[in-house]
């Protein structure tokens, strides 16, 4: 049995619609429920609910907290998937890449443009792809979304196209 | 073949999630698409897209416009379903009741707490129930939602319970 | 709080796909799960799982069993919904009508052309409509499906159109 | 823009429920519709509807036809995904491996235990995983299903577990 550690930090992928306020926000957790819809007979996905916030509100302390959690998990030798808001997923990816220059496993960041369970959501697709990519990729930090695999220093969000595209490292 | 005239005014039932802004809002129309999921072999539902706004933003002019459209449709002798935001559905119901004291057909107002197509949405349930109620009810103005049928002057929204409940007329 | 008694007898509406045999069949129950998707704040639906079979295999003994269950439930004074296979729903409807000539509540028979949960299923629509019709109809035996309400002695299945249509009583 | 050629041969993944006969069978095509639910901004999936049959009915002629189609496509240099019934997916995989000993691209076979669009279906998961695997794997013939990636000569179906498991080559 393989293991993948999935660190959930919130973001659009895990937003819910609030009937009281009429807005979408990060409150309850969703990843666990949607993972149960996938059949993964040889793989245990261990979900770690670290944060639940819009990535525009993610602070330096939050990223330190993420790195601290990763430091705890990496010695287990399992791939890591991080669900994250798309607005600052690149910043977090670069931060992780810098914090862990000698990764022995793939770290895959993913998210969604539309929350899990909303019509037309890309969340389950991205989650499915990320788990497959985490099995097949070598060590490194990647963003996986919409069938695409980017090294974290070659990706940027294209808001107009509602997806991610290749870019040159700064 | 029967006919039901459905006047769409917006409200939560027809809200969409905007990937650009991260909010839910009334922009595209949804009712027509979801009606196609229903099998209604002996009934033609004629959708009239009158407005597309949050019912908190509905003005007196909007209600005059609604009454004007109803005045055009009522001589056809068909039931009318009105999809509407839940926040002011009672105001509109009472307005319609006052404007048309001699209705010969049922007028059914409905809406949703969660937009059509979002997980856990009550939109398709309410739409299905309203079309059935429009067939079975006699003349009058009703709010139909969550398996319930209220005369429009006996209903109020209970935000805490996220539904509608009976109330005494003012 | 209202009560509706729902007697489940199987039929297509409750069929499941068997991965072992590659066929659809009546084995597990489904009605309870799908009812939970509906919001019915003022109504308790009491599900009685009586039978779980294709209606072509329904025997005289099965109909006697159904009538016996109804005899037990009717004194409660609540509407009854019966989920049933479509192939012999009329026979059962006529049997019920004959067995209970003095009904004080509506008895609504319904079913589906495609099982609950399969793409394009009419099951949840029919279930939703039946619960609404059970609230609004007067005493009698009815078949409710596809937005239509038939007295049980005026309906027949039209296999070609995959729905039910009006017919003259024999 | 990348290209993936997807050869559809039928199997459970593409079965539909027939309201006329009450059985699931291979008649209409489904893959194209479900592919449209995936966001693949940098990849064009070219669907080739070759066959539409239960894989237990696949003949030697059918496999020759498949090889012939592959011979036409392989010079394009694009990965190939083959949707296939699960009962003989290994036979076809071994046949393809033998017929094309010098593959320059990955050939990924996939299918489903439950048809696309049925509740609990693994079809869209397997399709999503296969497209991701076709991007990341090197040349060879693979079976991708349920988050797993098998070389075609190391896999067998486990009917009891309703999945695929590792096995030693014969």
- Which residue numbers in chain A have pLDDT < 70? 170
The confidence score (pLDDT) of residue A80 equals 98
Give per-residue pLDDT as tens, A115-159: 999 999 999 999 999 999 999 999 999 999 999 999 999 999 998
CA-based nearest residue to C111, from C96, C92, C136: C92
Distance set, CA B168 to CA B109, B150, B151, B153, B155 (Å): 18, 11, 11, 8, 8
The confidence score (pLDDT) of residue A93 equals 98
| B132 Cβ under 8 Å from any chain C Cβ | yes
| D114 Cβ under 8 Å from any chain C Cβ | yes
The confidence score (pLDDT) of residue C145 equals 98
Chains touching C by CB (3 or more pairs below 8 Å): B, D
Residue B168 banded pLDDT, cuts 50, 70, 90: confident
Rounded-to-integer distance, Cα C108 and Cα C68, Å: 17
The confidence score (pLDDT) of residue B170 equals 65
Chains C and A touch (3+ CB pairs under 8 A): no
Nearest residue of chain D to residue C19 (CA atoms): D113
Strands D24-25 and C155-158: unpaired
Nearest residue, CB atoms, B23 vs list A20, A23, A159: A23
Average pLDDT over residues B59-86: 98
Residues 6+ apart with CB under 8 A from C73: C5, C7, C48, C80
The confidence score (pLDDT) of residue A153 equals 93
Residue B30 banded pLDDT, cuts 50, 70, 90: very high
Beta strand spans in A89-168 (E): 106-110, 140-145, 148-151, 155-158, 163-166
The confidence score (pLDDT) of residue D170 equals 65
Nearest residue of chain D to residue A120 (CA atoms): D37
Give per-residue pLDDT as tens, C107-158: 999 999 999 999 999 999 999 999 999 999 999 999 999 999 999 999 999 9
- Per CB-CB distance under 8 Å, the chain D contacts of C19 are 113-114, 162
- Which residue numbers in chain D have pLDDT < 50? none
User: What is the ipTM score, two decimals?
Assistant: 0.96
The confidence score (pLDDT) of residue C168 equals 83
Nearest residue of chain C to residue D157 (CA atoms): C20
- Per CB-CB distance under 8 Å, the chain A contacts of B22 are 12, 24, 54
Average pLDDT over residues B135-163: 96
Q: How far is C5 from chain B (nearest CA, A)?
A: 15
Phi, psi of D32 (to 5 degrees): -60, -45
Structure tokens at B44: 């033609």
The confidence score (pLDDT) of residue C169 equals 76
| B122 Cβ under 8 Å from any chain C Cβ | yes
Average pLDDT over residues B11-31: 96
Q: How far is A95 from chain B (nearest CA, A)?
A: 25
The confidence score (pLDDT) of residue C170 equals 65
- Per CB-CB distance under 8 Å, the chain D contacts of C113 are 19
pTM: 0.96
Structure tokens at C5: 């008694």
**Three-state helix/strand/coil letters over chain C:** CEEEEEEEEECHHHCEECCCCCCEECCCCCHHHHHCCCCCCCEEEEEEEEEEECHHHCCHHHHHHHHHHHHHHHHHCCCEEEECCCCCHHHHHHHHHHHCCCCCCEEEEECCCCCCCECCCCHHHHHHHHHHHHHHCCCEEEEEECCEEEEHHHEEEECCCCEEEECCCC
Chains A and D touch (3+ CB pairs under 8 A): yes
The confidence score (pLDDT) of residue A168 equals 83
| D23 Cβ under 8 Å from any chain C Cβ | yes
Q: What's the gap between Cα B106 and its chain centre?
A: 12
Average pLDDT over residues B15-24: 96
Phi, psi of C106 (to 5 degrees): -75, 140
The confidence score (pLDDT) of residue A170 equals 65
* Contact flag A114-B22 (C-beta cutoff 8 Å): no
């Amino acid at each position: 049995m393989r293991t993948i550690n999935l660190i959930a930090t919130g973001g659009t992928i895990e937003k819910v619609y609030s009937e009281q306020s009429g807005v979408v926000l990060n409150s309850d957790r969703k990843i666990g429920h949607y993972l149960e819809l996938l059949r993964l007979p040889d793989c245990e996905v261990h979900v770690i609910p670290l944060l639940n916030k819009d990535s525009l509100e993610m602070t330096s302390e939050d990223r330190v907290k993420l790195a601290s959690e990763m430091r705890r998990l990496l010695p287990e030798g399992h791939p890591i998937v991080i669900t994250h808001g798309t607005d600052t997923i690149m910043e977090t990816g670069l931060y992780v890449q810098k914090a862990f220059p000698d990764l022995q496993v793939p770290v895959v960041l993913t998210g969604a443009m539309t929350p899990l369970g909303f019509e037309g959501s890309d969340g389950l697709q991205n989650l499915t792809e990320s788990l497959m990519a985490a099995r097949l990729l070598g060590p490194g930090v990647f963003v996986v979304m919409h069938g695409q695999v980017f090294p974290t220093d070659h990706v940027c969000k294209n808001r107009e196209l509602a997806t991610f595209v290749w870019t040159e490292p700064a």
